[in-house]
Structure 1
Amino acid sequence: MRANYIILILLLISNIPIVNATGETHPSERFGHKMLYDPINDRVLLFGGVLYDNSRETRYNDLWSYDFESEIWLEITSGSRPSPRNSFAWVYLEGHNQILLYGGDTNQGKSSETWIYDLTENRWFCVDSELEQRPPRLSEITIAYDSINDKVILFGGMGENSPGSRDQTYNELWVFSFEPLSWTRRSPDNNPLPQYGAQMVYDEASSSVLMYPGHWNEVDDPTHHGYGDDIWEYQYQSDSWVMYEASSKPVGRYWANVNSVGAGKIILFGGNRATSMDDTWVYDYPSNTWSQIHTQNTPPDRMCSSMAYDPTNDQLVMFGGFQEGMVFLDDTWIFDFETENWLELGEATDMSDSESEQSIPGYSYCSIFLGSLSYIIVKKLESKKYTVSCNKDIHFSQNRVPENSWKL
């Protein structure tokens, strides 16, 4: 209790949130991370990812926020959180003020955990103890939140097989419901082929769940494989898929960035088809047409990066990924729809002439010191109170979602 008072006093004096006290100005090089827009706090969030270095895998479970107005990345601290992972699924739950995370590649293998991040409380909750069944252990999954039906739609992915055998590609479709908390497998007659590296979005204008496909293989012959290039729509009420073929479209690929940007449009950047790519396309759902955008500035080719759309500023922010030859990236790019151009941000925000290069704009050295000290104290407390295992009790609510937290 005394420690809590100390932290409160330090925070009041320093007037600085417990963020970014590690000295990092932006997330490190990585791929397989995920980003989304947080409308509650008007920011973009980034979680997780992995880096390969001399055949060594370093996975992350850090959480970062990007603010468009200040053009600054800040690391967010919290208590218990999912273990380090990459290639997971996560999606914002409109009306719930929460984010759902599922699966991914971890240091212990592929995961089947379901986590909820509460944006208001800045807390993670593992809900596995509430679930009677769940999808298999998966990574490279695609996911969307259907706000009209208040359901999370999860499709495809890469699962684990027995040691020494090839990982299995899935085309299962699962639905997450909130009252009660549950995963339910559905079986549409016309499922897309098993695949991984696809991207799914929810288009508010048409109330449609749309999927840009990934790397597929035949059900009966996994050695026969390819890359999808047609948009698929999943219709929850009829439990059916509809495929839309367009006459002119991007070449098929996987591990691309795809985001809904309003007005029935989705944007696509990069991905992989034998090599990493750097093209920008916009799909118009009402007319079922693709248009390539030839920008003055173009980000380097990449795959397994992530981006998120900020409707308030009508901009996209993209971070990281990797290129052919295992070249890992830690750059941040902004796409402005008014100018239809990409702009790269520097590794750190420029300081004004009156600010020291070693200070944080708007904060004194004293506030930085006190904020950093608060960060250290919090980390010490977290190490004693919290665990990152989804199968064990955690400090808050004994591994349960707070009552009424799922209600609109």
Structure 2
Amino acid sequence: MLHRTKIFVVSLLLLLLTTSVVLAQENRTPTTIISSIVNAPIVPDGNVTGAFPDFVINLDTSMDPAVSGRTLLAGKQIRITMPADFTVNGAPVAGDPFAPSPFNEYSWAVLLQGWPQAPIFSSFPPGDLMGDIRYTISMSGTHTMIITANQDIDGSLGLPGPGIKQIHALFAHLVNPAPGTYTVEIESETGPNGALEVGMGQFEIKADQQPTVALTSWFNGPGRPNAIYQTVAVGDFVKVPYHLLAWAANGEPLTNAEIRQNGPTSADIVVFDADNNPVDVGDVTVTAPAGEKNLQLIWTGGAETISAPISGVPAAHIVMPLVAGAQVGNYVVEFSLDGGNAIQAFVEVVERSTISPGIRTWHGMSYDPVNDTVYLTGGRNQGCGNCIHYRDLWGYDTATRVWEQLKDIGDTLSLPASEEVGKNAFDSESGKMVILGSILFDGESERPMIYTPATGDLVMGGNTNLPPGRFEPGFVYHPVADRVVLFGGVKDDIADTYADTWLYDTNSDTWEQVATIGTPPSRGRFAMDYDSDANKIIMYGGGAGHVFSGQVLSDTWTFDIATSTWTEIMTDVKPQLREQVTGAYDAQSKQFIVFGLSVDGDYETWAFDNAAQTWTLKFTSTIVADPRAGGGREQTGPMMNHPGEMVYSPLLDRVLTYGGNVNWPQTIAATGDLWGYDFESNTWEKIQPTALAVQLANSSSNSAIGSRLPLVIVLVFAGVLLGAVLVLIRRGGGRLGGGFGRRMGSAESTICKQEAGFYTILIRVVCIFSNFRGDKGSDFPRRRRGKALEGVFWVQCTQNPPLTSSSRTAEGGVRPRFLRRYGRINVIANLSTINQENCI
């Protein structure tokens, strides 16, 4: 009876422990993870009979970049199995690297993380070119592709939205079957602690190509967000425009397609017939919050024909910027082609004060040394005529690094519609800020507006003896003379510039035009500030004459207000910057810091030592791997063709610049970035708002706690089982089965083997726990990693000689479809030329 009881207890515990081990080691918890399977967005025929399957598996994960994707731990796998209906494309041909085979080196998969279309490092075929490889691709037979993680692919990759959200798979050695719906299977060890998730998705094969539109983030600038999901403030442009690839029903590019807005939330996609009449071929529809009337879908001209990213397939490239409306909420932007597919993008519109002043250019900035505050006024959301004109006042507390909207200048002063708010200067003697009312090409004069930070009062200044209206002048306070100095600026017709000098007295609210000794050439859009060591105004560069066809200047001048004298400083070395420049005097280093785009296309930072009267090139902004991961690269410094204003903050000991146009004179790419330059370390830093940093820290800590909860449960369960086994050992005289030192009968031998196996399993459990990936925060590499395909390589598709559908090999055999479409593939491993951060 005792043996039977013991056998029953041991069997029960063995069953429980085996269950525990299976859960802890194998983690096989089947779940459905596929939300949809769609044709790849870089080819029009990945789902067409006779082509090879090229598709994207959308996991059932939010496309919101703030939501993390799935985790694939080191050693874990994702297996994608195609149905047997997909046949192998031919047989291997010896000596021909492009011949089809069951293990075709151009069959591959890319894990897409964070914001969608942001690839993770991989061993992209035909080999490991990099070294920091996070996963490898292999085949099991002809129809199962295996993705094996070499390192953890999880939250350590950084924000936004770490983890896996999509899988782009291409089976170049298979051929799509007859039209119909086919089931693709996926086994993915991406559940909690590597649990198995099983899914099946439907992939529809069509008889012929359909009109196809795809959204790509390939063309976004370095460090720019993904286009699928964006967050912007009311009235702002989305941070990146929508870049669309479009094909007609025959697979040819949808050449000369245009987008024409026909209502507050809709537009037509049109092409032109032989008589140049527009023909509607698709739609753009925006689902917006109720009452939205201010949405702008910007037409940017006819589509150009390009080679699609990665694939090289000819495609029409359409660009559509979007200006968010006045209503806070979620917007869904849908692009569709008649008789073809539809794709969606998402925009979250928030109140401006919850972010920052947002994207803008042609604004004003000054520094308040009493409150250690940077003031920003007005400007536009782009450098154009058809744009949003801001008439607001913001303050940036340099101690807390927090932006706050202080005033709506337009509403407070009931400004007419023609009044635009531009430059400002802070008068430290009176404790007031002088704001210039700029122009909207109507000839209005520069009537000042006066803001008093101590009281919050904002009043209109006098209207006598005013300077003529202008934009982009130099506007700087001279503390010794207690005057604001105004020089130059672009005239209201943009065909010419001013060369006049004016002084404004804040206390008496009066203007005086100064007859100077010596006068610099007329100019606008230049760098100017007060040199506190020389007690002079210092000025560099700009553009003279017409905004688009005038003369570019690279001269340096100083203005002595005591003698009303302008003096040109002649130097052997000087920056050759374009007319779009900005600058500020760094009082700590005694240097006039200037930033702008050089004539050679470099984004350069120069320093002028007025005492030595020498210019020095200090810094050239470049693009490097983005340590935040998530796809893309980051800038080492600002990269604006038309930079925003610049001021010096003594508290931060940095010169600060905000906003500006990155694509001047085009009209779609203003920024909302705040950069700080430290002369001593010679480095630029993109300064983030404090509130954002707090939010990210909170979200990270929450996810970390959640990820360890399953581990704690398994450990407790295993501890209970271990205690039960120790009880059995104790009952057996400290040995399993009552001791191995004596000869046992068959029944005793059976029990001993059961208990010995029991003990062996427990040892395995301990080993498993010692290697648990969820508890490896201490030894996981914490170095800052680059983003996305920064570490892979560029695939350049060429056709030399061009290959057609009837091209044949030298041996007379027809080349595979993959080669007929793409031509021979050349791999370029020069990483300095890669710009593949937002490819699809």
TM normalised by structure 2 equals 0.36
Distance, in Å, in 1 between the alignment partners of 2:472 and 2:384 is 23
1:107–1:356 CA distance, 2 compared to 1 (3 A): farther
Within a 5 Å distance, the mapping from 1:190-201 to structure 2 comes to 190-201=518-529
Within a 5 Å distance, the mapping from 1:317-396 to structure 2 comes to 317-324=656-663, 325-326=666-667, 327-346=669-688, 349-351=692-694
Within a 5 Å distance, the mapping from 1:1-400 to structure 2 comes to 24-52=354-382, 56-77=386-407, 80-81=412-413, 83=415, 88-106=422-440, 110-129=444-463, 131=464, 133-160=465-492, 167-178=495-506, 180-217=508-545, 225-262=550-587, 263-271=589-597, 278-294=603-619, 297-324=636-663, 325-326=666-667, 327-346=669-688, 349-351=692-694
Q: Equivalent residue of 1:135, what SS?
A: coil
Identity among equivalent pairs (%): 23
1:272–1:137 CA distance, 2 compared to 1 (3 A): farther
Alpha-carbon contact 1:307-1:317 (below 8 Å) kept: yes
Give the gaps of 5 or more residues in structure 2: 1-349, 622-635, 701-840
1:237–1:43 CA distance, 2 compared to 1 (3 A): closer
Alpha-carbon contact 1:98-1:116 (below 8 Å) kept: yes
Alpha-carbon contact 2:607-2:615 (below 8 Å) kept: yes
1:288–1:71 CA distance, 2 compared to 1 (3 A): same
Alpha-carbon contact 2:472-2:525 (below 8 Å) kept: yes
1:294-335 deviations in whole A, cap 9, x for unaligned?
Answer: 368222233141222111220122221112243221122222
Kindly indicate whether structure 1 or structure 2 has the higher relative contact order, using CA contacts under 8 Å at least 6 residues apart: 1
Distance, in Å, in 1 between the alignment partners of 2:548 and 2:660 is 27
Tell me the amino acid that sits aligned with residue 560 of structure 2.
Q
1:87–1:300 CA distance, 2 compared to 1 (3 A): farther
Alpha-carbon contact 1:87-1:140 (below 8 Å) kept: no
1:66–1:177 CA distance, 2 compared to 1 (3 A): closer
1:225–1:341 CA distance, 2 compared to 1 (3 A): same
Q: Equivalent residue of 1:349, what SS?
A: helix
Alpha-carbon contact 1:272-1:303 (below 8 Å) kept: no
Distance, in Å, in 2 between the alignment partners of 1:214 and 1:53 is 16
Distance, in Å, in 1 between the alignment partners of 2:381 and 2:674 is 17
Alpha-carbon contact 1:254-1:273 (below 8 Å) kept: no
Tell me the amino acid that sits aligned with residue 125 of structure 1.
V
Q: Equivalent residue of 1:41, what SS?
A: coil
Distance, in Å, in 2 between the alignment partners of 1:191 and 1:343 is 37
Tell me the amino acid that sits aligned with residue 376 of structure 2.
L
Tell me the amino acid that sits aligned with residue 534 of structure 2.
S
Alpha-carbon contact 2:542-2:553 (below 8 Å) kept: yes
Alpha-carbon contact 2:370-2:428 (below 8 Å) kept: no
Tell me the amino acid that sits aligned with residue 290 of structure 1.
W
Distance, in Å, in 2 between the alignment partners of 1:339 and 1:216 is 34
Alpha-carbon contact 2:660-2:672 (below 8 Å) kept: yes
Q: Equivalent residue of 1:64, what SS?
A: strand
Give 1:350 shift.
1.2
Distance, in Å, in 2 between the alignment partners of 1:196 and 1:190 is 18
Give 1:284 shift.
0.5
Distance, in Å, in 2 between the alignment partners of 1:110 and 1:274 is 37
1:72–1:152 CA distance, 2 compared to 1 (3 A): closer
Give 1:242 shift.
0.7
User: Over alpha carbons, which structure has the higher Rg?
Assistant: 2
Give 1:78 shift.
6.0
Structure number with the higher helix fraction is 2
Q: Equivalent residue of 2:370, what SS?
A: coil
Give 1:95 shift.
1.2
Match in the other structure for 1:405: none
Match in the other structure for 1:378: none
Alpha-carbon contact 1:210-1:234 (below 8 Å) kept: yes
Give 1:171 shift.
0.8
Alpha-carbon contact 2:430-2:506 (below 8 Å) kept: no
Give 1:109 shift.
5.7
Q: Equivalent residue of 1:62, what SS?
A: strand
1:224–1:114 CA distance, 2 compared to 1 (3 A): same
Q: Equivalent residue of 2:502, what SS?
A: strand
Match in the other structure for 1:404: none
Give 1:156 shift.
1.0
Alpha-carbon contact 1:36-1:92 (below 8 Å) kept: yes
Distance, in Å, in 1 between the alignment partners of 2:535 and 2:385 is 44
TM normalised by structure 1 equals 0.71
Alpha-carbon contact 1:269-1:280 (below 8 Å) kept: yes
Give the gaps of 5 or more residues in structure 1: 1-19, 358-408
Tell me the amino acid that sits aligned with residue 458 of structure 2.
W
Give 1:65 shift.
2.0
Comparing 85-94 with 261-270, which one deviates more in the overlay? 85-94
